[in-house]
Amino acid sequence: MKRILVIEDETPVLANILEMLRFEQFEVVGADNGFLGIQLARELLPDLIICDIMMPGMDGYEVLQELRRDLDTVTIPFIFLTARGAREDMRKGMDLGADDYITKPYVASELLVAVKTRLERREVVERQRLRVLSHRLFEIQEAERRDVVQRLQSDVVELLTGLKVILEMSKRLSENSLRNRLDDVKALAEEMIYRVNELSSELRPASLDDLGLLPALWQYFKRYTEQTQIQVIFKHAGLEQRFLPEIETAAFRIVQEALDNVARHAHIQQVDVQLWVDIDALSIQVEDQGQGFHVESAINSATSTGLNGMHERAILLGGQFTVTSELQAGTQVIARLPLEKRVGPSIPDRHSSALPRHAVSQATLPDVSPPEKYSAQHGAAAIQIVLADSHDLIRGGLRSLLETEAQFLVVGDAATAQEALDLTKRFYPQVLIIDLNMGWNIVAQVADCCPTTHILMLSMHTDEAYIQEGFRQGATGYALKESSGDDMIHAVREVAAGRRYLSRSLSERAINHYLNAPEDTQLGEHGVLTSREIEILKLIVQGSKNAEIASQFSISRRTVETHRANLMRKLGLRTQADLVRYALQRGIVDLKP
């Protein structure tokens, strides 16, 4: 059933139109003023809007202008219904984007024909829009594939080729020359690791799956500022929990695409990003004071896939998405993603250690002597170690390195999380060295069942969020896989002694992070409102008109109207009286003399 929104300030006229459309089997909704009409249009996304022009507060022209700046409502067919039949009035409505213009008095059949014609036309336009969007998305997908292939060829394949050449030449070198060549091999390997990590982070940050939305956003904002020199002012509330994967992915991509647009078009030095959780939704707001653009023109341009992509991500989850923008005044992107189902605060693993038995390697554990016999053979001070990494090459290299130390004794190595847990329960080693990719759960399980075993986590990740989560789960140390042999031996000694350990490069980074830590980014009492919206709310409560507010902030009257509509929508209010009541109850303004 098609849904039609009717905006008409004369109650008898509104009732007659609603009754006529309802009789024709349309679902109808009425609004008696422009502000309420805009709010209902954004909430309900009707298939068609019929709107009177002459209305107090906000007339029909202003309603149309506001809805045409909103990505969700810009394509909704719009019919003006008015007694103003002058040619210049009709021309003004059409110039603003109206689809039809019906003058009063009218006959019912005239209005019904206009409604059915516009609905049929919308279906045709929507099918065409979907075809164009599909074509654009395919083009972008192919462009991304070409970019990945080119980067793999230029970054990874070239480095591997260089590595192969060095290894081939090494066969003919003396021992001293070979030692120098090994340094070249290490440098090439480190460069390749860096480039692959950069590529994978751009495609999809691992922290989004491993740690959740908040750490992934922090990591992205840091990279974004380094690459664009645009500072991200980030405020949030309620993001410490995990959400469903599709919610986290959509939220991250919406923020990412919005900031990509800022970097390309806004020409600014700062952008504001807010995310907060209310009762049933995750809300996202990205706002800049940049150059702005015409929303309707941008949607129909060949480069509008960013806007359409954000819109589709929100709509597919049953959410809402709006974009408001004005030339030389900036842009505001708002998305609301419903949270009908939530995942609890626990951190899920990308590679769970609680593996089902059929997924565990069936390799039989070696028949080794009890730990006390090892201690007798290697001295009472021997540090017993279990190694756990899914890569045979890495385990073998670590074992060879550790066995050069007389005080170290590797009592077993594991290729899976379950094997690591079994070996730890069997030998109670002083140290378990385990790859982070085996999952967070294994750390917590070992800490519970073998409290005397100290855990040293090995990782490729340098992001602070991984380090914090590792220590929170019960690890004693956190070392990078790229650490030198001396650093790795030192790490084992420190962890075996029960002392916290962090790789040297990470320690320096942690100190810098502490010294340069940003201010508290939690949203405050009125955190869902921007500072500009709070200022405008104060002026509204004090009785200032739109023109007066626009003059004070050097912005257009339309921008003030947009802020007013956003205030009502974000706070769930319907009238200006509700706005005044909200501001007084929360102490935003005080009207006492």
The whole-number pLDDT of residue 239 equals 86
Torsional sign, CA 220, 226, 230, 233: positive
Structure tokens at 339: 């949270």
Count how many Cα atoms sit within 13 Å of the Cα of residue 116 in the half-sphere of its side chain: 9
Mean pLDDT across the chain, nearest whole number? 79
Top pLDDT among 160 and 37 is at 37
Higher pLDDT, residue 358 or 98: 98
Statement: residue 243 has pLDDT above 70: yes
Place of tokens 């505001």: 332
3-106 carries CATH number 3.40.50.2300: yes
Pick the CATH number of 209-338 from 3.30.1330.10, 3.30.70.20, 3.30.420.40, 3.30.565.10: 3.30.565.10
Tokens of 1: 């059933």
Tens of pLDDT along 64-76?
Answer: 988 887 777 888 9
Higher pLDDT, 399 or 324: 399
Give the mean pLDDT of 97-114: 86
pLDDT of 592:
56
Q: What pLDDT does residue 524 have?
A: 52
In this model, does residue 554 exceed pLDDT 80?
Answer: no
What is the spatial distance between Cα 539 and Cα 535, in angstroms, rounded to a whole number?
A: 7
CA–CA distance, 167 with 318 (Å, rounded to integer): 56
Structure confidence at residue 373 (pLDDT): 44
- Residue 182: half-sphere exposure toward Cβ, Cα within 13 Å: 6
378-515 under CATH 3.20.20.70, yes or no: no
Instruction: Please state the rounded mean pLDDT for residues 105-113.
Output: 87
Out of 31-40, 46-55, 228-237, 503-512, pick the least confident. 503-512
Reply yes or no on whether the pLDDT at 523 is more than 70: no
Choose between 187 and 352: higher pLDDT: 187
Query: Residue 505 is encoded by which pair of tokens?
Result: 């490069």
Mean pLDDT throughout 68-97? 78
We find that the CATH architecture of domain 531-585 is Orthogonal Bundle (1.10)
Indicate the pTM of the whole model. 0.56
Phi, psi (deg, nearest 5) at residue 522: -70, 140
At residue 588, the pLDDT reads 74
Look at residue 561 and tell me whether its pLDDT is greater than 70: yes
CA distance 470 to 477: 8
Q: Check whether 357 has a pLDDT greater than 90.
A: no
Is the per-residue pLDDT at 259 higher than 80? yes
Q: Is the pLDDT of residue 380 over 70?
A: no
Pairing of strands 320-326, 330-338: antiparallel
Name the band, by pLDDT with cuts 50, 70 and 90, for residue 241. confident
